[in-house]
């Protein structure tokens, strides 16, 4: 069976976790601080805050941005459900905008149409690693006095206009779930250039505690902590951070390898006119967290039939990005929400296997079988 994805983990990560466990300091401590410093340097952001996952990163970003009950935040419905959930956590309302089917990123014209007096922020998603047009969204946010937040869960190692994702705006949230390009088991990171937000998010991720464990531990003077506001336990552990440091050192190589496989698919399928392949415009650099193919209306085979045939032949595939407004948790409240472009893209896209290392013969098998199925030769 050719899997859809697998994390690239080696003896380096295992040794780092092992060594950290033996230090006796296993939750947020020196390894987390080191990982944050290295992640900030890698992305070019001033600060980074490590947290338990990208969903908690997005929640803290909403709080830092001042999003509250009664506010609206514009985001795509076509995203993993955690994107919209993070808006609900602060009592605000997700307002869904359409996507551009060329890259599944949020449609800026539809976003502008959905701005109201209640809008507080715009939450863009770099879909499956392909950057959104950050400058255009930042200009729109500035024009209307809104905060721009980036859901970069899938976009570690991607770049926009020559700079790594994480360096552009002041609230960028990453995931290190095993389905993303680098992993710490679970894990997340927020990068920011705003020092006040940085300090607030560090406080909130650890119960609102005025002094963190490490400072207290290293102090020669007696220190008592205070809890300044009601915070959360959104800490990353030092075991995870030790793994993350190893993964980060390999990130550029992992992305380069992923792009080679993506280039193979792009070349192999370029003449199939009933599918639309990912488009990487000038200035955009994708880490190809996923390789998604969109079936055009003239495609003779249905998406589910392709997926079933691939499965029968030992190749895993997945549906493309989901829509949030059609999930049970949202569909009653969003019964009047119609997003035909997002719905068609979600219903007709298919994600093909892409992971490191992927054997040459497995790449060829995926190419061969997908072609034959789509040309009705299988
Ligand atoms: C994976 C993902 C998330 C959630 O990340 P976790 O680390 O699992 O919480 C959020 N948004 C998007 C777009 C994702 O792909």
Q: In whole angstroms, what is the distance from residue 333 CA to residue 86 CA?
A: 16
Predicted confidence at residue 259, as pLDDT, reads 98
For residue 378, pLDDT beyond 90: no
Residues 6+ apart with CB under 8 A from 347: 303
**How confident is the model over 23-35, as a mean pLDDT?**
97
For residue 217, pLDDT beyond 90: no
Number of Cβ atoms within 10 Å of the Cβ of 81: 15
How do residues 153-208 score in pLDDT, each as one tens digit? Answer: 999 999 999 999 999 999 999 999 999 999 999 999 999 999 999 999 999 999 99
For residue 213, pLDDT beyond 80: no
Helix (H, G, I), strand (E, B) or coil at 51: strand
How do residues 295-312 score in pLDDT, each as one tens digit? Answer: 999 999 999 999 999 999
How do residues 9-21 score in pLDDT, each as one tens digit? Answer: 999 999 999 999 9
For residue 215, pLDDT beyond 90: no
Predicted confidence at residue 348, as pLDDT, reads 97
177 lines ligand 1 (CB under 6 A): yes
151 lines ligand 1 (CB under 6 A): yes
Predicted confidence at residue 10, as pLDDT, reads 98
Mutate to test the pocket of ligand 1, among 7, 73, 154, 186 (most ligand atoms within 8 A of CB): 154
Indicate which residue's Cα is closest to atom 6 of ligand 1: 54
**Long-range contacts from 6-11, C-beta under 8 angstroms, 24+ separation:** 6/178, 6/355, 7/178, 7/182, 7/183, 8/182, 8/247, 8/250, 8/254, 8/355, 8/356, 8/357, 9/183, 9/243, 9/247, 10/246
53 lines ligand 1 (CB under 6 A): yes
> Which class does domain 11-249 fall in?
alpha beta
What band does 214 get if pLDDT is binned at 50, 70 and 90? Answer: confident
Indicate which residue's Cα is closest to atom 5 of ligand 1: 54
How do residues 38-75 score in pLDDT, each as one tens digit? Answer: 999 999 999 999 999 999 999 999 999 999 999 999 99
251-374 placed in CATH 3.90.1150.10? yes
**Contact assessment for residue 119 and residue 146, using Cβ atoms and an 8 Å cutoff:** yes
**How confident is the model over 246-252, as a mean pLDDT?**
98
Average pLDDT, the chain: 97
55 lines ligand 1 (CB under 6 A): yes
For residue 334, pLDDT beyond 80: yes
Dihedral over Cα of 145, 146, 147, 151: its sign: negative
**How confident is the model over 261-265, as a mean pLDDT?**
98
DSSP state of 128: G
For residue 341, pLDDT beyond 90: yes
**How confident is the model over 89-112, as a mean pLDDT?**
97
Closest CA to 82 of 221, 180, 206: 180
What are the extents of the domains in the chain?
A: 11-249, 251-374
Predicted confidence at residue 158, as pLDDT, reads 98
83 lines ligand 1 (CB under 6 A): yes
């Amino acid at each position: 069976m050719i899997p859809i994805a697998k994390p690239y983990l080696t003896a380096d990560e295992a040794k780092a976790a092992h060594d950290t466990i033996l230090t006796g300091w296993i939750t947020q401590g020196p390894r987390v601080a080191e990982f944050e410093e290295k992640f900030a340097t890698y992305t070019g952001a001033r600060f980074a805050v490590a947290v338990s996952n990208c969903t908690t990163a997005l929640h803290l970003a909403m709080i830092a941005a001042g999003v509250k009950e009664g506010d609206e935040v514009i985001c795509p419905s076509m995203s993993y459900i955690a994107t919209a959930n993070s808006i609900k956590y602060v009592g605000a309302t997700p307002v869904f905008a359409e996507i551009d089917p060329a890259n599944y990123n949020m449609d800026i014209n539809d976003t502008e149409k959905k701005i109201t007096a209640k809008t507080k922020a715009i939450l863009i998603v770099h879909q499956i690693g392909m950057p959104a047009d950050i400058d255009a969204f930042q200009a729109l946010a500035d024009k209307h006095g809104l905060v721009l937040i980036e859901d970069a869960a899938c976009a570690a190692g991607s770049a926009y206009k020559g700079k790594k994702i994480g360096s552009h705006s002041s609230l960028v949230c990453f995931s290190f779930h095993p389905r993303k390009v680098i992993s710490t088991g679970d894990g997340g990171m927020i990068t920011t250039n705003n020092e006040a937000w940085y300090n607030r998010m560090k406080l909130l991720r650890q119960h609102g505690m005025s002094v963190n464990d490490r400072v207290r531990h290293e102090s020669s003077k007696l220190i008592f902590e205070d809890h300044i506001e009601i915070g959360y336990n959104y800490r990353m552990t030092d075991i995870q951070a030790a793994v993350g440091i190893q993964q980060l050192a390999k990130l550029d190589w992992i992305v380069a390898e992923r792009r080679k496989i993506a280039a193979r698919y792009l070349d192999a399928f370029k003449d199939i006119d009933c599918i639309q392949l990912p488009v990487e415009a000038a200035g955009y650099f994708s880490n190809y967290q996923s390789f998604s193919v969109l079936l055009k209306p003239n495609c003779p085979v249905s998406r589910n039939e392709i997926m079933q045939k691939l499965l029968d032949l030992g190749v895993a595939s997945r549906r493309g990005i989901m829509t949030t407004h059609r999930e049970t948790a949202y569909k009653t409240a969003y019964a009047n929400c119609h997003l035909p472009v997002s719905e068609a893209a979600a219903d007709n896209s298919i994600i093909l296997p892409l992971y490191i290392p992927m054997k040459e013969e497995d790449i060829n098998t995926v190419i061969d079988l997908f072609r034959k199925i789509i040309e009705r030769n299988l």
